[in-house]
Amino acid sequence: MRAKLELDRALAAHLADIGRELAGCAEPWWLIGSAAMAVHGAPVAVHDIDLLLAPTDARALLQRRGVPVEPGAASALFRSDIFATWEAPPYRIELFAGFHVREGQGWRELVPETREARAVNGVALFLPAVPELIAWGRLFGRPKDREREPLLAALLPH
């Protein structure tokens, strides 16, 4: 197993702020995407912070932040019952609730099966385990997901 990378200070501070705010959620939540990979120790660039929440918690967070609650617009690969983006310098935050991925002709809701706690600046963040992030990347099949797979796989015990 390779040594874990240290998180960028600005990212770590921002993630800790988010973790403190989400500590009051009634339902489980997850940090997903590149930020989750970085917290695990993968050497990936983080341009935004993706959060997966339960709909009730998502609505409450968006209301506190003053971000309009709208149904997420579907793409060819993804859709979300609630999707919101807001700029929270230094990172953009993307929030998903009722997140689905296209499989064949239908849609499957993605709810992580794993939930690992990781402390960042003393604050608990919750993310899917590395094998689940790899499986999601394979399911998504985008070029960036294929590029990230070996970076994640290197974090697994050999």
Condensed to tens digits (0 to 9), the pLDDT of residues 134-144 reads 999 999 989 99
Condensed to tens digits (0 to 9), the pLDDT of residues 13-65 reads 999 999 999 999 999 999 999 999 999 999 999 999 999 999 999 999 999 88
pTM here is: 0.90
> Which residue matches tokens 């200070």?
9
Please state the domain extents for the chain: 9-153
Three-state SS string over the chain comes to CCCCCCCCHHHHHHHHHHHHHHCCCCCCCEEEHHHHHHHHCCCCCCCEEEEECCHHHHHHHHHHHCCCCCCCCCCCCEEEEEEEEEEECCEEEEEEEEEEEEECCEEEECCCCCCEEEEECCEEEEECCHHHHHHHHHHHCCHHHHHHHHHHHCCCCC
Written as six digits, the tokens of 31 are: 């940090």
CATH fold, domain 9-153, is Beta Polymerase; domain 2 (3.30.460)
Rounded CA Rg of the chain: 15
